[in-house]
Structure 1
Amino acid sequence: MNVPRFPSATLGLDPGTASRRNDDEAARAADPRALIDLPTREARRGSARQWSLLRSRALRVGVPLALIVLWQLASSLHVVAPETLPPPTVIIDALKELIADGELQSAIGVSLVRAATGLAIGGGIGLFAGLFAGLWRVGEEIVDAPLQMLRTIPFIALIPLFITWFGIGEGAKVAVILAATIFPMYLNTYAGVRGVDPKLLEAAHVFGLSSRQIALRIILPTALPSILVGVRYSSAVALLALVVAEQINAQNGIGYILVNANQNQRADIIIAGILVYAALGIATDLIMRALEHVALPWRPRFELA
């Protein structure tokens, strides 16, 4: 039976071994039935990964650039009136103006503190509520029904109530973000805890693990991917709620810049502020992806193409 022989470099071998290897290769070349060395599976996977990475980076960069070019062309050809949608060059000039004044840098810092505060409080409440309802039946009976009812209420509809309770200061703004981030965190945590494979729990009981050990060693690690999805979703919702919250008599922040631009009919600054919100959302998503990669190194990555 022919045994496949895999090629290797002859560098570093003694002359006798290299000569025998060359003779073997010549014999296989003369024999039409000799086996042909094919690329290994790892080599094919490596080239496929490189092509996938190159394609992903090209699409991520190329598509936004193509949209910006089309936007500029539409403005240059007067397909869209500059007063309605200023071209990208004007938006860049507006951003330079805000950066030169130092207004944008301070506004971003204030807005991020608001979003982070609301996310920390609301996400924390949602996390503990999800664990309480998922781990204990009495917790589900106490927490799940009220939260399922409250999550159907848009957080925007609660703004008048928050203004009545907290006034028009920072309290109302943080409360809006808090109310928006509780429910995504709760739902993902609850689903992750309740989605643990029953066979794992049965095996834990067979090995004599206590309820605390089961929760810490099986349920929480298994539910961690879903919990991190909740953190990622809640962080995105926090930025959406920030846009709304900063319309409540804001004296600083990105929303304050947009309000002033609206009063002065500065469409370029309004669009520049919207793009800053979008950039913050992309940065937040990248941070959450990195957090998932660090916290879940064991999770396999699967792609159809």
Structure 2
Amino acid sequence: MSVVELRGELGSAVRAGPRPHPRPRPRAAASRRHRKGWHRWVSPLVLVLLWQAASASGLLPARLLAAPSQIASTTLDLVSTGTLPTAIAVSLERVLLGFAAGALTGIGLALVAGLSRAGENAVDPIMQMLRALPFFGLIPLFILWFGIGEAPKVLLVALAVSFPLYLNTFAGIRGVDGKLAEVARTLRLGRAALVRHIVLPGALPQTLVGLRQSLGVAWLALIVAEQVNADAGLGFMINDAREFLRTDVIVVGLLVYSALGLLTDALVRLLERRALVWRREFLPG
């Protein structure tokens, strides 16, 4: 091979550059992620095994914390007798009512405060003061105002839910790009059309973040609310078990609270994926 031919081939190779590394196929990448998913279960399983071993050896007395095997047996007993399903149904009803009232209030006030300076001056200072109040400090007042029935329990949940939704929706509204408003004025959109087509869609991602936060806070508030002379629900079941030192029943109730919180969070994440499908274009592969 002549020097001229060799130089020609080297020049072609330099101009061509290295061949791009082929990107993994989406199905193959998803399969690898699925295979690695079981790794997340290793540490919880190890913790449960250590917990069971400590209980069986006597290092962890049952009066302090029941063994996992005992908790599983108690769960089956509570389900078979209908105690646990009834308690879940009562607590779910309280959460749903409180969440609906709190969501409407929080989002409504965020719209009032976010869409006008006068609304912000009227609403925001009150909301900032109220969100600093502790739930336990409000229980005596709520009992005096609303009695010991369902009303104070639902209202405590509603109050807890309203603040994350208010703060996130307000931030989402104020975070909408101002250039979009200029485009709306150029297109001669009215204020109602501006809010509907630009402000609300722009604030939706932040509102969904507040929705996830508020659902988590709703279950925490329910635990507090069900301390108010409850005669049914998960909180009543836990309080009754505390009187008889039934740590297995207490742990079952806490695990159900956690499972319900994870379930509601998964539902919101599903809603987020459906409502914000356009954001997948900006996510890395």
TM over 0.5: yes
Deviations 1:199-233 (CA, angstroms, capped at 9, x unpaired): 21122222222222111111111110111111111
Counterpart residue type for residue 112 of structure 1: L
| Paired letter, 2:50 | L
RMSD between aligned residues: 2.3
Is the counterpart of residue 250 in structure 1 residue 230 in structure 2?
yes
Q: Counterpart in 2 of 1:157?
A: 137
Is this contact kept in 1: 2:90–2:233, CA < 8 A? yes
What secondary structure does 2:173 align onto?
helix
- Give 1:50's aligned residue: 31
Q: Name 2:274's counterpart in structure 1.
A: 294
Structure 1 contact 156–176 (Cα < 8 Å) conserved: no
Aligned position for 2:241: 261
Structure 1 residue aligned with 2:146: 166
1:12 aligned residue: none
Question: Which residue identity is paired with 2:256?
Answer: V
Q: How many residues align?
A: 271
Task: For structure 1, list consecutive stretches of 5 or more residues without a partner in the other structure.
Answer: 1-31
Deviation at 1:74, TM superposition (A): 2.2
Q: CA deviation at 1:53?
A: 4.0
Range moving further from structure 2, 124-133 or 59-68: 59-68
Opposite residue 151 of structure 1, the aligned amino acid is R
Aligned to 2:207: 227
Query: For each residue in 1:6-31, what CA deviation from the matched residue of structure 2 results, as whole angstroms up to 9, or x when unmatched?
Result: xxxxxxxxxxxxxxxxxxxxxxxxxx
Q: How far 1:46 moved relative to its partner?
A: 5.0
Alignment partner for residue 182 of structure 1, among 158, 162, 168? 162
Aligned residues: percent identity? 44
Q: Structure 2 matches for 1:75-90, cutoff 5 A?
A: 75-90=55-70
SS in structure 2 at match of 1:298: helix
Report the CA distance between 1:76 and its aligned residue: 2.4
- Give the superposition deviation at 1:61: 3.0
- SS for the counterpart of 2:100 is helix
Counterpart check, 1:274 vs 2:274: no
1:197 to 166, 177, 183: 177
Q: Larger Rg: 1 or 2?
A: 1
CA distance in 1, matches of 2:29, 2:99: 39
Residue 80 of structure 1, CA deviation: 1.8
CA contact (8 A) 1:107 1:252 kept: yes
Counterpart mapping for 1:64-213 below 5 A: 64-213=44-193
- Residue in structure 1 matching 2:22, options 40, 47, 60: 40
| Bigger proportion of residues as helix | 2
Distance 1:77 1:161, change over 3 A: same
Please, what TM-score do these two structures have when normalized by structure 1? Answer: 0.83
Which amino acid is 1:135 matched to?
L
With a CA cutoff of 8 Å and minimum separation of 6, indicate the structure with the bigger relative contact order: 2
CA positional deviation for 1:293 = 1.1
State the distance in 2 between where 1:144 and 1:253 align: 35
| Moved beyond 4 Å, runs of 4+ | 32-39
Whichever residue aligns with residue 233 of structure 1, its letter is Q
CA offset digits 1:240-262 (Å, max 9, x no partner): 11111111111111111111111
1:268 aligned partner, one-letter code: D
* Alpha-carbon contact 1:155-1:179 (below 8 Å) kept: no
